[in-house]
DNA sequence: ATCTGAATTGCGAATAGTTCGCAATATGAT
DNA sequence: ATCATATTGCGAACTATTCGCAATTCAGAT
């Protein structure tokens, strides 16, 4: 089921801002912040970008990672996380095994947020030459 | 080696604000934010609390988790993470196996940030009664 | 113990990401 | 087409954090 269909099923109206944000996220292969998303979609307001991303987050349709207080988003089409270069922001995905976190009997409704950061090969080379 | 000794070794001055922050963190069994730390140590300035925590973070002497855009700190005396109740903020620790993240050959100097959130037993009971 | 230069502090102003209030507009059910 | 209401755009507001800078404190040398 496409994400826009999911949104409709959840009772949300299918508006131009939402369409544009979804379109962009579907193209984007990496992580993107609200701020950069807004730069890319100049036609819609900053607040609408934030509101749409919040909605997608609430419905678990995007993954969120926080780097330096800024939320970074990508579509949650499959369970995964990212490792992000602290120098240049380059990101790679890796799969996520949700079962890993089943062991916490004292809590229910467990969510998890895992972010790895490092220095990518390219930046490492630049630094050391 | 005590943390204050470590700080001295790293060339930092041993000041009243730093002492007070360290003292408080050593007592604290849970996670605490800069804001709440400042409430507890009224004698020192907000900016000094932030500056000390940043210093401790840079030197890897505290663990940091971000919940709703606020950084939460605890002493990094042993490798661990927390699972935090989304309703009341109650936190439990769990051990961390750093070797888990060695597999990312394309990155060096890997750091990781893992945060679990859930609803604790107590809050779960309250909600359903 | 005093001196001294550098590190650190406190203060208030500034910043950055995000949210809010509200009037105007777009949506989709009838 | 009409209508109720969900959503938008705009600017102002909010919150955690940082910054600039003068005043203070620290630690090492005398
Ligand atoms: Mn991704
Ligand atoms: Mn802890
Ligand atoms: Zn890089
Ligand atoms: Zn709770």
CB contact under 8 A, A108 and B115: no
Give the residues across from B66 on adjacent strands. B71
Dump pLDDT digits (tens) for B9-57.
899 999 999 999 999 999 998 999 999 999 999 999 999 999 999 999 9
Is the pLDDT at B129 greater than 80, yes or no? no
Q: Does B107 touch chain A (CB under 8 A)?
A: yes
Is the pLDDT at A128 greater than 70, yes or no? no
**Chain A to chain B, count of Cβ pairs less than 8 Å apart?**
87
Give the pLDDT score at A127. Answer: 66
Which chain B residues are closer than 8 Å to A70 by Cβ?
A: none
Dump pLDDT digits (tens) for A10-50.
999 999 999 999 999 999 989 999 999 999 998 999 999 99
Nucleotide D18, nearest residue via CA and C1': B47
| Whether the Cβ atoms of residue B68 and residue B31 lie closer than 8 Å to each other | no
Give the pLDDT score at A129. Answer: 60
H or E segment to which residue A121 belongs:
helix A121-128
Q: How far is the CA of A69 from the C1' of D7 (A)?
A: 28
Give the pLDDT score at A97. Answer: 81
As a whole number of angstroms, the distance between CA B113 and CA A82 comes to: 11
What's the gap in Å between B80 CA and the centre of ligand 2?
7
Is the pLDDT at A98 greater than 80, yes or no? no
Full set of structural domains in chain B with CATH: 3-128 (1.10.10.10)
DSSP per residue over chain B, as a string? Answer: --HHHHHHHTT----HHHHHHHHHHHH--S-EEHHHHHHH-TTS-HHHHHHHHHHHHHTT-EEEEEETTEEEEEE-SSSEEEEEETTT--EEEEE--GGGGTT-TTEEEEEEEEEEEEEEHHHHHHHH-
Q: Select the more confidently predicted residue: B102 or A82.
A: A82
Give the pLDDT score at B71. Answer: 94
Give the pLDDT score at B44. Answer: 96
Report which listed range, A57-61, A65-69, B123-127, is most confident. A57-61
Give the pLDDT score at A68. Answer: 83
Q: How far is A5 from chain B (nearest CA, A)?
A: 29
CB contact under 8 A, A124 and B108: yes
pTM above 0.95, yes or no: no
CB contact under 8 A, B120 and A106: yes
Q: What 8-state DSSP symbol labels residue A92? A: E
To the nearest 10°, report the CA torsion of B37, B42, B43, B47: 60
Q: What is the mean pLDDT of chain A?
A: 90
Q: How far is the CA of B6 from the C1' of D29 (A)?
A: 24
Tokens of A102: 């089943």
């Amino acid at each position: 089921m496409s994400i826009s269909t999911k949104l409709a099923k959840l009772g949300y109206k299918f508006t131009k801002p939402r369409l544009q944000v979804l379109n962009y996220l579907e193209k984007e292969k990496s992580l993107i912040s609200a701020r950069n998303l807004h730069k890319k979609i100049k036609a819609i307001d900053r607040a609408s970008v934030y509101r749409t991303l919040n909605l997608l987050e609430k419905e678990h349709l995007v993954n969120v990672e926080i780097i330096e207080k800024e939320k970074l988003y990508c579509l949650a089409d499959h369970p995964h996380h990212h490792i992000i270069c602290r120098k240049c922001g380059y990101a790679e995905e890796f799969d996520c095994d949700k079962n890993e976190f089943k062991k916490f009997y004292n809590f229910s409704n467990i969510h998890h947020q895992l972010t790895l950061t490092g220095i990518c090969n390219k930046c490492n080379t630049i630094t050391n030459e």
